[in-house]
Amino acid sequence: MAKMTRSESHLDSGTRPDGAEVLRNDAVHLLDALQDGVIFLDPDWRIRYANRAARQISRIDEAHLNGPSHWELYPATVGTEQEQVYRRSMEERVSLTLELYYQPYDVWISLQTLPIPTGIAVYYRDITRLKKAESNRDETALQLEEVFEQTSDAIIMLDSKYDFTFLNRRAKEVLAPGGDLLGRNLWEAFPQATAEDSPFWVEYHRAMREQVPIHFEAFYPEPLNVWFSIEGRPTGNGMIVYFRDITQRKAAAEDLQRKTAMAEQQAAEIETVYRTAPIGLALFDTDDYHYLRLNDRQAEFFGMKPEDVVGRTLLEMAPIEGLQELFDGVRAGTPVVNYPLEGELVGRPGEHRYWTVNYSPVFAHDGSVQFIAAASLEITQQKRAEMALIQSEKLAAVGRLASSISHEINNPLEAVTNLLYLIAASDGLPQDVRQWVDLAEREVARVSQIATQTLRFHRQTVKPTKANAQQLIEPVLDLYLGRLMNSGITVQTKFVSKTPVLCLENEIRQVLNNLIANAIDAMKSGGRLMISAHDACHRSSAVPGVRITVADTGHGMPKETQARIFEAFFTTKDLNGTGLGLWISKDIVERHAGTLKVRSSSTPEMHGTIFTLFLPTSHVPEHGNQPAAVN
């Protein structure tokens, strides 16, 4: 491709597809082929483009393009009718014509202004010869016809009856390649333009009737199949029409519109995927690693909205040791793939979390790292599930061991019990010794009961049985009897209800075990543990059942903790808890069609926690597969 001149390069400064670029270059060459001058003026009155004829007529060189304003280049036009026409055309977006004499160059100019998207175009010619030859009409007509023949625009003249009186060379090529239209009527020659809503019919009649210039674009079907850009000028006894074939331009515009719509649709689809992706996505700058954009999932890591995170730095949001060094390496061009990351975020301080992260450099054209893209998948739940599984396996092993020990203890316990019975039945046994023997019998009986309860906890029932609240609660209290006495905790029980409920006893005891153990943990310095049971009905469904209340005078829980205690893996016991006890308990209760609710206060004046467990009397519970005891 030949090198463009500066005037050519200023015709269109936008980026176009290859086809449009070719069309643009063709337009430049066609404009340069015109003997008439064409210049484009921007709103600041700078000459943005001038064709070859304009450069010759107006003495325009390279330095004048996009440089001084028109009024600085041609000061003699300031304050003249030419300035008025130019400014009116620019402000009102109308096409205007003018003939003027420019004294500094001793030329007569005929010009027409045309509003264009970037300002106005001025189409003009040097009519000095025509003016000087005005007395010779025939010679003027010949010269005008010669100009028309040389121009690349198609030009026709119509009389007041719409008969063709003149067609230049280009008009004959476009409209009548196989015949002569001179003298024929426009509407007879082109009948498809006679419809009342046809822009040809409407605009041509308007120009004739109102004696106003017209400018429109329209498509003429078979046999032409051409898009036209048409400008018409009334002449008093008819009209002159300038038109050009813009079919290729229209096709290019439609193609560009189609591609633009497709690109916008694809961008919208990509944006939707980005925003709703189940992994955290973010883009960082390379200066201080602040967020440029992020999706909803990434913002959820912090419990914030994306717009509240943008602009904040990486370490401000994630003060994790070693993260700065990871990003420094990515900025140097080394990606990070499937890296295990763990630590705390600003959204939930004190909560240790885990991620698998990928960090990638985004390179600029010169090979430098322009941005850093991040993809983060949180695996905290999986990690906690793994730890809970390990803990559950440990508990299961301890349960099996406790079951074995309890079973094996029964035989020697039976022997010791029998021996103590024989000793107690002996004659002549001193009174103080008899008291010790009685104490030993009671303690051996308590060991036997603990062993029995341990076995009962371990055995998994497969069928629901009926048991009342007292039968469910007292075996659990027996397990904690020693711990309750050593902790200075007073136990108060009130079993108003004797109604049995249909349940999986071991699972309900597991729930009660969690509630009682949590209550004991909350009363490190002693207190009261109050357990009651009474008949009740479900508040919303009116289903009859039993309501069990476990209350303590411990330190209580703030509202934030109460809102999360039934979440999996949420714990306030640090390494001493898995965060699964109440989560599993709630699941067990729901499978029994019951409810488990909590109320708590941590104020100095009134502190403590109350758990309320409601169980329907006759609902057949669903079988679960939860660990036997998790806290």
Q: Is residue 612 part of a domain?
A: yes
Please indicate whether residue 448 or residue 43 has the higher confidence score (pLDDT).
43
Please write the tens of the pLDDT for every residue from 74-113.
999 999 999 999 999 999 999 999 999 999 998 999 999 9
Does residue 396 share a domain with residue 364?
Answer: no
Q: Which domain holds residue 287?
A: 277-378
pLDDT (0 to 100) of residue 458: 53
Alpha carbons 440 and 59: distance in angstroms, whole number: 127
Please compute the mean of the pLDDT values over residues 333-354 and round it to a whole number.
88
User: Which pLDDT band, with edges at 50, 70 and 90, does 328 fall under?
Assistant: very high
Q: Is the pLDDT of residue 143 over 70?
A: no
Q: Which residues does 576 contact at the CB level (< 8 Å), separation at least 6? A: none
Identify whether 175 is part of a domain.
yes
pLDDT at 538: 86
198-205: long-range pairs with CB below 8 Å, 24+: 200/230, 203/230, 203/232, 204/158, 204/162, 204/232, 204/239
Which residue(s) pair with 155 in the sheet?
242
211-244: pLDDT as tens digits: 999 999 999 988 888 999 999 999 988 999 999 9
How far apart are alpha carbons 572 and 570 in whole angstroms? Answer: 7
Judgement on whether residues 237 and 119 belong to the same structural domain of the protein: no
Place 331 in a pLDDT band, splitting at 50, 70 and 90: very high
* 250 part of a folded domain: no
Gyration radius of the chain over CA positions: 48
Residues 93 and 225 in one domain: no
pLDDT band per the 50, 70, 90 thresholds, residue 629 = very low
Q: Confidence class of residue 42 from pLDDT cuts 50, 70 and 90?
A: very high
SS3 of 208-225: the string is HHHCCCEEEEEEECCCCC
State the pLDDT at residue 8.
44
Structure confidence at residue 4 (pLDDT): 40
Query: What 8-state DSSP symbol labels residue 195?
Result: S
Judge whether residue 5 has pLDDT over 90: no
Q: Select from 459, 492, 517 the last residue of a domain.
A: 459
In this prediction, residues 406-428 reach a mean pLDDT of 75
Last residue of a domain, one of 433, 459, 485: 459
What is the per-residue DSSP string for 446-505?
HHHHHHHHHHHHHS--SS-EEE-HHHHHHHHHHHTHHHHHHTTEEEEEEE-----EEE-H
- Specify the CATH number for the domain of residue 418: 1.10.287
- Dihedral of CA 549/554/558/560: which sign? negative
pLDDT at 514: 87
Domain presence at residue 139: no
For residues 354 and 448, the model is more confident at 354
Does 7 or 321 have the greater pLDDT score? 321
Q: Has residue 186 got a pLDDT over 90?
A: yes
Q: What is the pLDDT of residues 294-305, one digit of tens each?
A: 999 999 988 899
Whether residue 342 is contained in a domain is answered as yes
Q: Are both 194 and 218 inside the same structural domain? A: yes
Proportion of the chain above pLDDT 70, given as a percent? 85
Mean pLDDT of 541-561: 90
Same domain, 309 and 401: no
pLDDT value of residue 25: 80
The answer on 478 and 571 residing in a single domain is: yes
* pLDDT value at residue 133: 64
Considering the domain boundaries, does residue 137 fall inside one? no
Q: Is 285 inside a domain boundary?
A: yes
Confidence category of residue 55, pLDDT binned at 50, 70, 90:
very high
The reply to whether 351 and 446 lie within a common domain is: no
Q: What is the chain's percent helix, strand, coil content, to nearest 5?
A: 45, 25, 30
Q: Is the pLDDT of residue 115 over 90?
A: yes
Average pLDDT over residues 544-551: 94
Q: Say whether pLDDT at 550 is over 90.
A: yes
CATH number at residue 51: 3.30.450.20
Residues 405 and 546 grouped into a single domain? no
Mean pLDDT of the chain: 84
The encoded tokens of residue 558 equal 């703030």
Residue 399: pLDDT band with limits 50, 70, 90? low
Q: What is the band of 460 on the pLDDT scale with cuts at 50, 70, 90?
A: low
Domain check: are 473 and 612 in the same one?
yes
Q: Are residues 473 and 598 in the same domain?
A: yes
Q: Quick one: 495 and 616 in the same domain?
A: yes
Number of domains in the chain: 5
Distance between CA 437 and CA 458 in Å, rounded? 32
- Pick the last residue of a domain from 459, 485, 518: 459
Q: Let me know whether 359 and 238 are in one domain.
A: no
State the pLDDT at residue 400: 66
Q: What is the mean pLDDT of residues 246-261?
A: 90
Question: In this predicted structure, what is the pLDDT of residue 402?
Answer: 63
